[in-house]
Amino acid sequence: MRFLSLLLALTSLAEGVSLPQRRKVVQSFNVRRNQSSDSTPLQVGNGNFAFGADVTGLQTFKPYAIMSTWGWHNFSLPTTPGQTSVEDYTGMQMWTHGRLVTYEMPNPAENDISTWLIQNPNRLNLANVGFTFGQQNVTEDDLQQKSQELDLWSGRLSSSFVYNGSSVQVETWADPGSDTVAVNVQSKLLTQGLGLFFDFPYPDTEKFNAPFVGHFNLTSKHSTVLEQLSPNTARIKHSLDGATYFTHVAWTGRGRIDGPAAGTHRYSFAASQSNVQLVISFSLAAYDQPTTTYSRVVSASRNWWKSFWTTGAFIDLSAVQDPRAKDLQRRIILSQYLTAVNSASSYPPQESGLVNNGWYGKFHLEMALWHLLPFARWNRFPLLWRSLPSTYHQFLPTSLARARMQGYAGARWGKMSDPSGRSAPGDINALLIWQQPHPMYFAETEYRAFPGAATLARWDAVLTATADFMASYAFWNASTRVYDLGPPMYPVSENTDPNATVNPTFELAYWRFGLDVAVRWKTRQGKPVPRAWLAVRDGLAPLPMADGAYAVYEGIPGMWTSNATTNDHPAMAGIFGLLPPPASGPPLDMAAVKKTAALIKELWALDYSYGWDFGMLAMNSLRLGDPEQAVEYLLHPIFQFDDAGYPVGGSRVPTPYFPNSASLLIATAMMAGGWDGSEGKTGHWPKSWEKDVQVAGFEPAM
Ligand SMILES: *[C@@H]1O[C@H](CO)[C@@H](O)[C@H](O)[C@H]1NC(C)=O
Ligand SMILES: *[C@@H]1O[C@H](CO)[C@@H](O)[C@H](O)[C@H]1NC(C)=O
Ligand SMILES: *[C@@H]1O[C@H](CO)[C@@H](O)[C@H](O)[C@H]1NC(C)=O
Ligand SMILES: *[C@@H]1O[C@H](CO)[C@@H](O)[C@H](O)[C@H]1NC(C)=O
Ligand SMILES: *[C@@H]1O[C@H](CO)[C@@H](O)[C@H](O)[C@H]1NC(C)=O
Ligand SMILES: *[C@@H]1O[C@H](CO)[C@@H](O)[C@H](O)[C@H]1NC(C)=O
Ligand SMILES: *[C@@H]1O[C@H](CO)[C@@H](O)[C@H](O)[C@H]1NC(C)=O
Ligand SMILES: *[C@@H]1O[C@H](CO)[C@@H](O)[C@H](O)[C@H]1NC(C)=O
């Protein structure tokens, strides 16, 4: 049996893109730098932990971050009378279909605790590790022959430079299985004053910490303690407010750690031979022994990345003549590396992954679909399973409580989240609804790959609670005799008046999709389908139109005539692209779908869009039979990826903004694997590319 599946795996690999060919394509996009970037590091990492390096392979000149899934911090609670505990926050009430509903919005009468709940917990930059040059104040300009290569095939970052006539060679690796960075330094300067420093920052209350996280000059606000464990190991305990974690350092040969230097939390490490290997591990618990070694980290990283590139799906555009193919291939390869490092975590990732902090390091449940779906579509389910469905199961109690508090059945998923399952107060946070059907999208995607009782059981409780809420949230409008969504609500685009927003196109289509999946889920298990789900699904308001095209929401003024409405996320394109056509109810009006796509192309303020819009528009173009337009969207001038593949935030959000990378991977998976009903044709590329594209391992999208 095992032999057979091994044989099958090898056969499918051979039929698709061979291992040497995959390796050649991947390594042709190895990242090379000869100076530090001002905006992005080069990273080694494993999805739950990442180390961001400057041109020295460490954090010598640019304080890029070391971040994790578990490293969080709370500032102390406010001391304002009546606002000293989380329980003192009561939210805001709004009239909702004739009754007062409590929403998790900032309450001006509870300003201090509302603000505290927004800013806490915040994600920690665990430390900085860099080179010191004896007594000298050295800048990056003082180094010569700087050169750096990130090998995507093995996860190795090699850096070298010359200082005062002597070369320094550095290799930096992350352990796939622990929060550990391993560093090899080779230089005779190690015996002449070249050393390392370890420093520890204190966070601030800014929403965005980009490109760097934390401050190294707020020494009195936190404390560190060095403990020498053996001649070759030391542990630094870092305590800040209620948070404590440990940095474990182990080294080869003779060396010592001293410090901190007066008035700082900066420690120094010096070796007494020209080669040293360090293993630096971070954790909430204190260890007395190093948990791994440099050579074990190196071989684990080599194995992990080789397996990553050889077992997942693959697109090889290297034989395509069109020069656009090379740029698309570069984006595809680097996006896979970066999303594995930054997004394959045990919770959904934040938009900036483990590079820096956006929204205090929290993650957004409506963005989870973009971030996590690529792991499924590129046949890397184990990376998806790190966070799903466990995050939903873990957040079920707070989501059931949220719905109950608001007078709804089921579970209402929160928005801007942290591992506690709390949703941060916010006007948009409280009124956004498109995160609700995401569990159905994930569950159905998983079921298509793994049909069977185990998949059904894994998701059943989550889907049931989700569908119960969705049915209960829809409001029976006795005069129009349809179920309305909102008001108050924010649609995907977050730029409308929530008191006027009713029946947005994307959310209506997504509610139908979600309820269809929930009904199917019960039917597959031979369980009864709750009547309310069917009633709501079959009674949903029709998709709203304006000028023969789909509108953001029903009755929106000036839909295709005002620039106030033709900007931000054009989510209407998602009803025939990201979403399959409806499985129940009236079919889409295809003339309207086409006109919507044409009007978006003609009128939309795409310069003001965020990047995942382009992946979404590309999927819409694909289903409309226009792969040429899909490629144009994926290479749109506003949709930028820097030299190392980091998605550039643009005018609205800081860099990196990983939903861009994810949307590119979801769209290209659709180009490679087609979708249900794509007429037996599996590739959807510009005509001139078709004969030269090689793909392996894709399943059709829904
Ligand atoms: C540094 O890299 C840039 C971009 O790859 C290249 O144009 C430049 O020639 C390199 N400089 C050196 C000194 O190698
Ligand atoms: C921060 O405080 C909240 C509320 O008391 C708590 O649920 C959470 O666990 C704390 N997180 C950390 C990292 O201390
Ligand atoms: C929506 O209505 C509420 C009253 O229910 C009001 O407090 C709020 O300011 C309104 N919001 C907007 C954006 O007009
Ligand atoms: C290094 O720079 C700091 C701050 O600019 C200065 O105080 C110190 O004297 C300098 N040290 C040397 C050795 O130049
Ligand atoms: C450079 O190296 C020489 C020996 O090769 C040494 O005498 C000198 O102090 C070094 N200078 C600096 C700035 O480290
Ligand atoms: C402390 O460091 C921050 C950068 O982290 C800098 O903006 C600020 O000016 C520094 N403050 C002082 C007093 O040096
Ligand atoms: C029913 O729908 C109509 C048309 O959208 C709307 O004007 C009316 O306010 C809705 N009724 C209620 C009770 O929400
Ligand atoms: C709409 O156009 C007006 C006038 O040209 C301009 O001032 C405004 O910034 C535009 N608004 C948006 C959202 O693009």
Question: Of the bound ligands, which one is closest to the alpha carbon of residue 199?
Answer: 6
Beta bridge partners of 245: 238
Contact 582 CB / ligand 2 (< 6 Å): no
CA of 544 to the centre of ligand 7 (A): 14
Pocket test for ligand 8, best of 559, 563, 651 (most atoms within 8 A of CB): 563
CA distance 180 to 249: 10
**Chain centroid, CA 65 distance in Å:** 16
Contact 480 CB / ligand 7 (< 6 Å): yes
Q: What is the model's pLDDT at position 9?
A: 46
- Rounded to two decimals, what is the model's pTM? 0.96
Atom nearest to 95 CA in ligand 3: 5
Is residue 374 within 8 Å of 666, Cβ to Cβ?
Answer: yes
DSSP letter, residue 530: P
DSSP letter, residue 542: P
Is residue 45 within 8 Å of 106, Cβ to Cβ?
Answer: no
Contact 135 CB / ligand 7 (< 6 Å): no
Look-up of token digits 């095939």: 153
Does residue 239 form part of some domain? yes
What does DSSP say about strands 42-45 and 49-53: parallel, antiparallel, or unpaired?
Answer: antiparallel
CA of 567 to the centre of ligand 8 (A): 10
Contact 215 CB / ligand 6 (< 6 Å): yes
CA distance 404 to 402: 5
Does residue 380 form part of some domain? no
What is the dihedral sign for C-alpha 575, 579, 584, 588? Answer: positive
Does residue 105 form part of some domain? no
How many domains is the chain built from? 1
Contact 595 CB / ligand 6 (< 6 Å): no
Nearest to 391 by CA among 421, 371, 352, 412: 421
Q: What is the model's pLDDT at position 679?
A: 74
Is residue 264 within 8 Å of 284, Cβ to Cβ?
Answer: no
Residues 6+ apart with CB under 8 A from 120: 73, 74, 75, 360
Q: What is the model's pLDDT at position 680?
A: 67
- Look up the CATH number of the domain holding residue 179: 2.70.98.50
Nearest to 604 by CA among 578, 573, 642: 573
CA distance 12 to 524: 30
What is the dihedral sign for C-alpha 474, 456, 449, 375? Answer: positive
pLDDT under 70: residue ranges of the chain: 1-15, 680, 682
Q: Which tokens go with 362?
A: 């929290």
* Residue 605 neighbours by CB distance under 10 Å: 12
Residues 6+ apart with CB under 8 A from 72: 121, 122, 123, 124, 243, 361, 418, 419
Does residue 159 form part of some domain? yes
Question: DSSP assignment of 52-114, as one string?
Answer: EE-TTSSSSSS---EEESS-EE-PPPP-STT-SSGGG---EEEEETTEEEEE----GGGHHHH
> Please, where are the H alpha helices in 654-701?
659-673
Does residue 425 form part of some domain? no
Contact 479 CB / ligand 7 (< 6 Å): yes
- Burial zone of 679 (CB within 10 Å; 0-12 exposed, 13-18 middle, 19+ buried): exposed
Phi-psi region of 124 (alpha: psi -120 to 50; beta: other; left: phi over 0): beta
CA distance 140 to 159: 13
Does residue 612 form part of some domain? no
CA distance 376 to 669: 10
Write out the E strands in 422-558.
475-477, 482-484, 545-546, 549-550
CA distance 60 to 58: 6
Does residue 293 form part of some domain? yes
Look-up of token digits 């506690």: 420
Residues 6+ apart with CB under 8 A from 229: 235, 288
Pocket test for ligand 2, best of 347, 420, 422, 423 (most atoms within 8 A of CB): 420
Pocket test for ligand 6, best of 205, 215, 266, 357 (most atoms within 8 A of CB): 215
Is residue 561 within 8 Å of 608, Cβ to Cβ?
Answer: no
Beta bridge partners of 173: 182
Does residue 662 form part of some domain? no
CA distance 616 to 543: 19
Domain coverage including residue 289: 36-73+126-301
